[in-house]
Amino acid sequence: MIRKIRGTTVVITGATSGIGRETALEFARSGANVVAAGRRKHRLVELISKIQAAGGSAIAVPTDVSDNEQVENLIQRAVETFGAVNTLVNNAGIGLAARFEEQSIEDFRRVMEVNFWGAVYASKAVLPHMRRQSAGGVIISVSSIMGKRGLPYETAYCASKFALAGFSEALRTEVMSHKIDVSTIFPGAIETEIFQTSSNQTGLTAPAYFPKLPARQLARVIVQDARFPQAEVVTALDAMAVDFFNKFAPNLVDLALGIGVPFLEGFGRSAKPQTNGSSNLYQESERPAGVGR
């Protein structure tokens, strides 16, 4: 089923930078009404001004997706303003790199609250509206290739992304008879600030993934997915390679990662562990608006 974009309404969480910001701009270019959500109000104002200056239609709704009431307000504002929500993009996300035995349960829970529960809250709030719409709707959740393959030091992040993938898969079969499509995007390394704003508690330098896919290219994939929904989309080459080898040689991938951990532990310490105050785990991070998730 091919869905139209022009004249429809899309809600995007985590829209203040990176993937979310570029996705908002791409939907606006395609003629959609954009409802942009995020924690940084001034970033949202800048984004909405840019969309409106180009002739687009958009509103900003400052939202912390870990708060169910704020998420319910987000969906309600979208419906009150534009009369419907045709597409929901669950994009808000934070990162945490830490050894499992050393990280706090509070930090682990925070990652789950934003990356997983934020999407659950938004999906729960939007479904009644989509059910009443003759054309149904589309729910797109941005997971990660780490929602298919777990990596060391990323237990919380991987858990949140695996949970998001499983939730989306189950929900898809539950609502498809109501003309509601549920899709999951599994990107690899993207040009966003998440590599800098993630809470790095390992003392290890984050690997320099290359090449990173520009956020605007992923935004185009998301808009195309809203137009022609797919159950799952794995992008780009690095994610496809990880997915391929993990499907056909998972033990080999385990071995490669397991061998790599002692090397990193012994020779890779070069980064100063971040405190929560220098990451976006609990508070907003201030980086250039054009970069980051």
What's the per-residue H, E or C state across the chain? CCCCCCCCEEEECCCCCHHHHHHHHHHHHCCCEEEEEECCHHHHHHHHHHHHHCCCEEEEEECCCCCHHHHHHHHHHHHHHHCCCCEEEECCCCCEECCCCCCCHHHHHHHHHHHHHHHHHHHHHHHHHHHHCCCCEEEEEECCHHHCCCCCCCHHHHHHHHHHHHHHHHHHHHHHHHCEEEEEEEECCECCCHHHHCEECCCECCCCCCCCECHHHHHHHHHHHHHCCCCEEEECHHHHHHHHHHHHCHHHHHHHHHHHHHHHHHHCECCCCCCHHHCCCCCCCCCCCCCCC
Q: What is the CATH number of the domain that holds 212?
A: 3.40.50.720
Does residue 191 lie in a domain region? Answer: yes
Angle at CA 56, nearest 5°, toward 53 and 57? 115
pLDDT score for 139: 98
> Residue 179 has which token pair?
């003309």
Does residue 226 lie in a domain region? Answer: yes
Does residue 140 lie in a domain region? Answer: yes
Does residue 195 lie in a domain region? Answer: yes
Q: Examine residue 249 and say whether the peptide bond preceding it is cis (omega within 30 degrees of 0).
A: no
Residues of the chain with pLDDT below 50 are: 267, 288-292
Does residue 282 lie in a domain region? Answer: no
CB-based contacts of 213, cutoff 8 Å, min separation 6: 187, 188, 189, 190, 191, 235, 236
22 closest CA partner among 226, 223, 267: 223
Which domain does 109 fall in, by range? 9-277
Query: What tens digit of pLDDT does each residue of 165-195 get?
Result: 999 999 999 999 999 999 999 999 888 766 5
pLDDT score for 202: 72
- Structurally, the chain folds into a number of domains equal to 1
Does residue 213 lie in a domain region? Answer: yes
Specify the pTM.
Answer: 0.89
pLDDT score for 238: 85
Query: What tens digit of pLDDT does each residue of 135-171 get?
Result: 999 999 999 999 999 999 999 999 999 999 999 999 9
**Catalytic annotation present for 121:** no
d(CA 289, CA 277): 19
pLDDT score for 269: 52
> Residue 86 has which token pair?
């045709």
Of these residues, 153, 157, 209, 282, which one is catalytic?
157
Measured CA to CA in angstroms, residue 233 lies from 70, 124, 128, 168, 277 at distances of: 29, 22, 26, 13, 34
